[in-house]
Chains A and B, each alone.
Chain A
């Protein structure tokens, strides 16, 4: 499949708005870091080493497509334009580090974009599985299958004491980073996030804004992930993340109920204003767009706003980024041009919903 398939469409399978607790958990991601024996890590290796690693990892995965029942497209980063790389970054299919690497590297993508294997990022191999909703076990099972396929053909760098050897000591051991991306508007509005961030950090987990840092996460989208990778088994890491995620979901639901109970009118006014802004504004900066999208998504989730698709937040957060906007515009845009084009795309996205709605009513 050509790279255009992955660039043209802002929608990936994880954005579908399905899966368990999908009104709060947007997606689940598993990442495994692995390195091969006999080659230095990407920070220290030569172009010759990079090339050999790329060839053997890519060949192994492409050969295993039957066994995995998964077709991969191999994309060599060096063959891809700067703008296209940026789009792949904005879709979370590759990292900025791989996009900017001067060495040979590639990404192997499954057609539905749920699996991406980066070769020669910070480590030789980064297996990533991205599932919609809360599916920690399912996503890990998928990553584990890929890991076993690679393990059969290649020789992993491993040490009895330290486990899987990785470039960064924060990944040593299991090399596993499990994370869930959550939409937590009510906890943010009720100013509870700081407290939650503090508590969670004491449990060996981290909370970050996935589109931003700290407690002021853009679009109220947060990522919760494990920090400890050494001295804890994969099962325990996943179980702990699952239990913390469920507790946060519970707290978010309680906060939503409390808002509805005590300030329904104010909430309703705010959410509809945001819908109005998204539908009619002519200039839209990223932070305002993110805030409005979060409001509309909350409105959908609590049953206030109908006829708008739940995937709106997932999808728009991706396509309103600079790389995507310029890809759609077909030209480079400065900041104020971007703000206008962003407003236009968001209006069109909502009008599309509106048209489908009236069409549906006519046919009834």
Chain B
């Protein structure tokens, strides 16, 4: 598609305009979009490049036999009904269960999007999150303890050891009470 304004460069940005309650879609190149609607365009994610990225990844698996590829294409999420092809087309998931439905394919997708990373290591919700927070605190205390021993502050080290023990017992009893599933 060619930019509606300059009719020269390829259109890369879609601007939704509202006139008298009606929505109009305008397609501009980046240069014209900037000068015409500098504030209105949502640039936060570039759906084009994400889509490209995803389809590039998908075409890399093309060496596989045709049948297997087609089968892969038609895997669908039983919660929202989206196929993996739709996920690749939209660059979005339909629901949380899509992550389960497409699980085997996802590490490859994420690797490309997140600098080679495939596993979450941050915060977690609910009881699981509290457990992780406690574990982190224990780790921090342990490293403080090491420093204390290195500088021969044994009293300080003993205090830290007790603190870590308290947290550890909290972790084991907490785990029994709130079963994380």
Residues of A bordering B, CB below 8 Å: 35, 37, 39-41, 43-45, 82, 86, 89-90, 95-97, 100, 122, 151, 155-170, 172-174, 176, 204, 208-209, 211-214, 216, 218, 227-234, 286-287, 290, 321-322
Contacts and interface: CB of A to CB of B under 8 A. Distances in A.
Contact of A162 (B34, B44, B106, B126): B106
A169 B109 contact: yes
B114 A231 contact: yes
B81 to A, nearest CB: 8
B113 A169 contact: yes
A211 B18 CA distance: 20
Contacts of B44: 95
A159 B41 CA distance: 33
Contact of A213 (B43, B96, B120): B43
B42 A95 contact: yes
A279 B166 CA distance: 66
A40 B122 contact: no
Interface in B8-39: 13, 16, 18, 21, 23, 30, 33-35, 38-39
B56 interface: no
Contacts, number: 158
8 closest A-B pairs by CB: A231-B117, A163-B120, A157-B96, A44-B94, A40-B95, A230-B114, A156-B125, A174-B122
Interface in B99-144: 99-100, 106, 109-110, 113-126, 128-129
Given A161-B119, A212-B34, A234-B123, A168 B92 contact: yes
Q: Is the interface of A mostly helix, strand, loop or mixed?
A: loop
A170 B42 contact: no
Given A100-B16, A151-B129, A232 B117 contact: yes
15 contacts: A40-B94, A161-B120, A163-B120, A164-B120, A165-B93, A169-B93, A172-B114, A173-B120, A174-B123, A230-B120, A231-B114, A233-B123, A286-B35, A287-B38, A290-B38
B119 A40 contact: no
A208 B38 CA distance: 13
A151 B120 contact: no
B79 A40 contact: yes
A160 B131 CA distance: 13
A158 B126 CA distance: 10
Nearest to A218: B38
A173 B122 contact: yes
Contact of A159 (B18, B94, B99): B99
B82 interface: yes
A80 to B, nearest CB: 13
Given A228-B114, A232-B117, A211 B92 contact: no
Nearest to A35: B96
Nearest to B124: A158
B123 A41 contact: no
A228 B117 contact: yes
Contacts of B13: 213
Contacts of A169: 50, 91-93, 106, 109-110, 113
A280 to B, nearest CB: 23
B154 interface: no
A294 B119 CA distance: 42
B94 A230 contact: no
A290 B35 CA distance: 11
B109 A230 contact: no
Nearest to A83: B18
A173 B93 CA distance: 14
Identify which of B99, B114, B125 gathers the most chain A CB atoms within 10 Å of its CB: B125
Contacts of A41: 80, 92-96
B99 A165 contact: yes
B110 A96 contact: no
